[in-house]
């Protein structure tokens, strides 16, 4: 499922995000959503979330 729509993402979902520092390499980090940071319904680069581990990134994959 795409991480571009806010309605697809819920707190507690397992997701893969790309962090700001990893945008060039495209390295994905796996984790559980703690907070949804993007307010708009969609975002072309993915909805920004904060994971339980404290990592902030844009959702690329929802598991």
pLDDT in tens, 5-29: 999 999 999 999 999 999 999 999 9
Domain ranges for the chain:
6-62
CATH architecture entry for 6-62: Roll (2.30)
pLDDT at 2: 82
Q: Long-range contacts of range 12-17, CB-CB < 8 Å, 24 or more positions apart?
A: 13/62, 13/63, 14/62, 14/63, 15/49, 15/51, 15/59, 15/60, 15/61, 15/62, 15/63, 16/59, 16/60, 16/61, 16/63, 17/46, 17/49, 17/51, 17/55, 17/57, 17/58, 17/59, 17/60
pLDDT of 49 over the 80 cut: yes
């Amino acid at each position: 499922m795409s991480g571009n729509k806010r309605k697809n993402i819920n707190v507690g979902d397992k997701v893969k995000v790309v962090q700001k520092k990893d945008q060039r390499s495209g390295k994905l980090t796996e984790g559980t959503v703690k907070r949804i940071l993007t307010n708009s319904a969609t975002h072309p680069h993915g909805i920004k979330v904060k994971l339980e581990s404290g990592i902030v990134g844009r959702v690329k994959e929802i598991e």
